[in-house]
Amino acid sequence: MPDQFVTTKRQKATALVIMNNPHTLNAMDEQMGPALLNALEKLGQDQGVKAVVLTGAGGIFSAGGNLKNAERHLAKNPGQGASPVFDAYTVWVHQVLKAICNLEKPVISAVTGVASGAGLAWILASDFVLLDPLARIKPGFIGVGLVAAAGVTWHLPRLTGLKKASELLMLNRGLSPQEALDLGLVNKVSSPGQAVEEALILADNLAHRPQKTLAATKKLLNQNTRKGLSDHVEAEKNAVLKLADSPEFAKRLAAFMHKTK
């Protein structure tokens, strides 16, 4: 199923979902968000698909939110803050997060290049994660003066413990593949350049297992670890919107965008 921003490829009983906007580093925005949500919802309804692999085109998983939208908004509306941009952005982010968590089939993230911001959120929400040995995971949020969102402050401390989550989020510390594996954020570090291929092999393995049992297992795990997640992501959103209107965010965003140009 071709799409300008997300491509879905069927391989027998598995589906490969590719975030396909490398020009923006596969960032989430008003184009990528609806396209990714639409792809996941269609696969949820497709009884022929038993497992889903999520990855990014151009050697990049996802760099998070498209901050150029916030930069343009601030340029056009000086002194007004960027909360309207992030208010719209979080609608799609939360819906994609919910779709990954609630999909009644395993979701495997195959991570290459950079996974930051919302890209980290998709990793934490996935059932399995395979990481290329050259990939890097970095929260990214505090670098531009924002709090982590999309369920990151919910999932991360439950996987790493509170102290390590504080270190990663407050210091914006990147993780090597081995560190991510040791912390339990990923299932496996793949062979070089083989993250997607190995994820598809895992997906095929899962596709041959009892589907109702897998769905029930995922649901029970979600009930155990994600009860209250919806309320928590709303609290994250409120914190993001407040910070997005602050002078500190505008200052840090300008510095970040200047550095990346």
Find the mean pLDDT for residues 37-55. 98
Residue/partner pairs of 190-193 with CB below 8 Å, 24 or more apart: 190/110, 190/130, 190/131, 190/132, 190/133, 191/133, 192/132, 192/133, 192/134, 193/132
Distance from C-alpha of 107 to C-alpha of 2, rounded to nearest angstrom = 20
Which residue reads 């140009």 in tokens?
A: 261
Q: Which of 67-71, 190-194, 213-217 has the lowest mean pLDDT?
A: 67-71
Q: Between residues 101 and 65, which one has the greater pLDDT?
A: 101
Distance from C-alpha of 229 to C-alpha of 237, rounded to nearest angstrom = 12
3-state helix, strand, coil in the chain (%, to 5): 55, 15, 30
Domains of the chain: 6-194+210-260 (3.90.226.10)
* Paired strand residues for 129: 109
pTM: 0.94
Return the half-sphere exposure (C-beta side, CA atoms, 13 A cut-off) of residue 127.
25
| pLDDT at position 261 | 57
Tens of pLDDT, residues 90-133: 999 999 999 999 999 999 999 999 999 999 999 999 999 999 99
| pLDDT at position 257 | 84
| pLDDT at position 224 | 81
Please state the three-class secondary structure of 13-66 as a single string: CEEEEEECCHHHCCCECCCHHHHHHHHHHHHHHCCCCCEEEEEECCCCCECCEC
For residue 57, give the nearest of 99, 100, 116, 113 by alpha carbon. 113
Q: Which of 77-91, 103-117, 162-176 has the lowest mean pLDDT?
A: 77-91
| Residues making up the chain, counted from first to last | 261
Share of the chain above pLDDT 70, in %: 98
As a whole number, the mean pLDDT across the chain is: 94
